[in-house]
Structure 1
Amino acid sequence: MNLKKTLAVVGVAGLATAALAWQLTITPVLKNPLPKYLPGAWLLDKEMTLKLAPESRMAKFTELAFTNDSNVLDKLSNAMDRLKDKNLIMAGMLTIDGNTHPYVIHEKDGCNTLIWFHQGVDTKVGDPVAKCISLIPASEPTNDLLFLGDENGARKSSVCYKRK
């Protein structure tokens, strides 16, 4: 094989390796309840939300539904730069009051952050929205509680959802 062909083969192999290195992946986290218990439909728990943050802007979202589907990562190629250093533990589609968005959840130091993406132009995803997310599994699944709050911990921004 001459030098020109060798360099071409090495170049193609390098590009293939670089392409694989930039793919988004899900990292399983054994003790995190979100991947196991989050999928399904959720309804705003008005009573609990009033106790947490009666003026919360998030309280305008009355119904949420989550899927767990890592294939959604393929749709987030234009958000790859923003997500490449995140420890992604879950991905799927999030439906908020009838509007569906791709989402990911990443974990850092035991804290989970939900990031969903507004509708973008053409095939691109739009701007991200980030919220802290916690799920409290109950002995009966119908009593599970889901909490969303401001990413920087601001008071008066938390909301609570119950299973629908």
Structure 2
Amino acid sequence: MKIVGTNLTTNVTNSIYFSACEAQVKSLIVPMGKVAASNIRTGNTQAHNFNLNVYCKGLRPTQPAPVKIYFQGATTSDGLLKFNDAGQSHVASGAAIELTNGKGTRLPFTPSQALNLDWQQSQPDAEVYHFAGQARYVPSGGEVKAGKADAVVSYVLVYN
């Protein structure tokens, strides 16, 4: 019997950086306050800041891997959020909630336009990323009428 030796090698590539990414706060409420319809008509409304820290646990990359975010909700275009129960008599009309990032760009509502989160720091068990945004009432077309003006938006984290 003749034994022939072979020199086989296996190259394993791992492109998974994190086992899970999640926000530190599960639900974030941005108090918008009461705003006069005349201020909405003229675009003279105050922006309200909100922040989101995201912790990505798992494998430690040699440099921070990209983590992106986009949003889902009732919207007519990126960054303009419709009010809950829009069209009902008790709900405000002619206005929307404009959502922007810290640079004033309207937030994306499609995965292809997801924004990069800012890497902040490494912790012993996680990489920390940060998102800063603003919300404010803006005119959306038609007559601005008073009423309930609440809205809900969800965020989606993209990482791998």
TM-score (norm 1): 0.26
Determine which structure has the larger helix proportion and give its number: 1
Q: Which has the higher contact order (CA 8 A, sep 6+)?
A: 2
TM-score (norm 2): 0.26
